[in-house]
Structure 1
């Protein structure tokens, strides 16, 4: 059974989503972040970065959420995995893009809005995120033109990885009305039974 370290509220959420899509049994290993358990000597042997998520699959250890989703889909021969080199290139393209470009401003804003006390918030960080996000969202909106999914006209690793980042914007109540392609695609992805189950897990974790 796979052991997963990290709350569904963290970047581990996309890993839970993938495991639910695949119907895999897993064991959630809780880490108390306030008590710095993710920086403990024991956990650093699993992920030397002291971050979540990480998984232990038998003797195999892997960290970085988007590497985990890709690995699981491939290992279990899922249609969500790439079927050829071209699809793999596109899946990695969208996954890396969402992590490097889209997720950073979204997380910066989320931290300020939900974790920093109002009197200590930095309005410049929020403003910067609000200013840059539309440019990135236009890239995704255009990429979804005439398509139901990002790669291969089927639900793939790319959709889980990117939709999980869009989920941060939903949490921030970001207005996506100017992005009809993203809105339709996101609703399709998040309405999947596995996506709904992870959302319920996230809600119960609050």
Structure 2
């Protein structure tokens, strides 16, 4: 059985989403972050970076959330996996873009809003994120023009990875309504039963 380390409320959430999409059995391995168990000697053998998420699938260990989602889709021959090298490249393209470009300012904003006391909060970081994120959303809006999903006409690992970041952006208060393609696409992604299961996990 696959073992997963990391809370569904963290970046591990997209890994839970993939596991639910594939209907794979898995075991949640609790880590007490306040007690810094993610920096323990035992966990560092799993992820030498001392971060979450990570999975152990038999004798295979994978860390970094988007590497995990890609691995799971491909290993278990899911319809979410690429079928050609071109599809693979385009799925990686959108996934890397979401991680490197869109997620960075969103996480900076999240840290200031959720983890920094108000009297020490850097409001400039938040304002900068609010300015730059709409520019990135324009890229995604264009990428979805005339399309149901990002790659081919089916839901794939690219949609899962990118939607997980867009959901974070939306939860921070960024209105998606002006972006008609993104708004339509996100509703389709969030209507999926696997995402609904993830949403319930995050509420627990």
> Which bracket does the TM-score occupy, shorter chain normalised?
over 0.9
**Post-superposition shift, 1:191?**
1.2
Query: For 1:111 and 1:104, how far apart are their aligned partners in 2?
Result: 11
- Give structure 1 regions of 4+ aligned residues with deviation exceeding 2 angstroms: none
**Post-superposition shift, 1:170?**
2.2
**How is 1:45-60 mapped onto 2 (pairs within 5 angstroms)?**
45-60=45-60
Query: For 1:40 and 1:170, how far apart are their aligned partners in 2?
Result: 34
User: Which residue of 2 is the match for residue 85 of structure 1?
Assistant: 85
User: Which residue of 1 is the match for residue 135 of structure 2?
Assistant: 135
Query: For 1:177 and 1:71, how far apart are their aligned partners in 2?
Result: 33
Please list every run of 5 or more consecutive structure 1 residues that lacks an aligned counterpart in the other structure: none
User: Which residue of 2 is the match for residue 34 of structure 1?
Assistant: 34
Q: In the alignment, does 2:151 pair up with 1:148?
A: no
TM-score of the pair, normalised by structure 2: 0.98
Query: For 1:118 and 1:200, how far apart are their aligned partners in 2?
Result: 29
Query: For 2:179 and 2:113, how far apart are their aligned partners in 1?
Result: 23
Please list every run of 5 or more consecutive structure 2 residues that lacks an aligned counterpart in the other structure: none
User: Which residue of 2 is the match for residue 171 of structure 1?
Assistant: 171
TM-score of the pair, normalised by structure 1: 0.97
**How is 1:86-105 mapped onto 2 (pairs within 5 angstroms)?**
86-105=86-105
Query: For 2:117 and 2:168, how far apart are their aligned partners in 1?
Result: 19
Query: For 1:143 and 1:80, how far apart are their aligned partners in 2?
Result: 18
